[in-house]
């Protein structure tokens, strides 16, 4: 279980850096995501899990990373769902800390 918690922590860190801190190297990607969000409809919906929402990105990374780490076995689904859920919660906490340090 600690292995999946480690995956969650790493996924949350990656997601917060990617979606909230937004390093300049990905500026073209954020411009595309903002264009997609402004377009509305399906594009607004899909823009969140691929980069605009830190918790959505953390959940995606946590889910797929832990599913891959389990060897794609469906029997590990409780651990995979734990990992995705923990990544979302940790990402929320990390983002709050990031906002607090910017003030």
Instruction: Convert the pLDDT of each residue in 15-28 to its tens digit.
Output: 999 999 888 888 99
Provide the H-helix boundaries in the chain: 2-16, 27-39, 42-47, 54-69, 77-102
Structure confidence by residue, pLDDT tens digits, 46-92: 999 999 999 999 999 999 999 999 999 999 999 999 999 999 999 99
Q: Are 33 and 52 in contact (CB under 8 A)?
A: yes
pTM: 0.91
What pLDDT does residue 23 have? 81
């Amino acid at each position: 279980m600690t292995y999946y918690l480690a995956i969650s922590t790493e996924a949350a860190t990656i997601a917060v850096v990617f979606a909230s801190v937004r390093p300049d190297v990905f500026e073209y990607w954020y411009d595309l995501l903002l264009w997609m969000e402004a377009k509305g409809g399906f594009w607004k919906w899909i823009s969140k899990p691929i980069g605009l929402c830190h918790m959505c990105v953390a959940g995606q990374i946590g889910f797929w990373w832990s599913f891959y780490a389990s060897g794609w076995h469906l029997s590990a689904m409780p651990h995979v769902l734990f990992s995705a859920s923990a990544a979302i919660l940790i990402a929320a906490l990390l983002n709050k800390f990031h906002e607090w340090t910017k003030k």
